[in-house]
């Protein structure tokens, strides 16, 4: 839910209220109850943190090549004569099963 900042025209009190878009507008001050409240535009609290979302999400082609992980060498490949799914079920002739 968004947070809105209000200011009273009578007492000068500033306050923040968390409200839904569908909630009715605030018309009365929280401290003096005067009906001279107006909504204030304030800077957002949105902050990007980290090592740089743009640089890490959209790297150059050279950077992509250096960041690719090396393929492991020790992975066993299935035998050429295996039927589909035979190795996984243990019924593969090349494994002696």
Answer yes or no: is pLDDT of 28 > 50.
yes
Say if CB 8 and CB 36 are below 8 A apart. Answer: yes
The 10 Å Cβ neighbour count of residue 78 is 13
- Specify the pTM: 0.44
Domain count, the chain: 1
- Structural domain includes residue 86: no
Provide the residue range defining the domain that includes 21.
3-40
Residue 57 lies in a domain: no
Residue 49 lies in a domain: no
- Is residue 8 situated within a structural domain? yes
Q: Select the more confidently predicted residue: 97 or 57.
A: 57
């Amino acid at each position: 839910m968004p947070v809105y900042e209000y200011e009273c025209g009578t007492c000068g009190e500033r306050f923040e209220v968390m409200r839904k878009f569908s909630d009715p507008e605030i018309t009365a001050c929280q401290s003096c109850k005067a009906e001279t409240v107006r909504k204030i535009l304030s800077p957002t609290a949105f902050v990007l943190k980290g090592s740089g979302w743009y640089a890490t999400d959209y790297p150059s082609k050279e950077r992509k090549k250096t960041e690719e992980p090396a393929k492991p060498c020790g992975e066993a490949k299935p035998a050429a004569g295996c039927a589909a799914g035979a190795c996984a079920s243990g019924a593969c002739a090349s494994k002696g099963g």
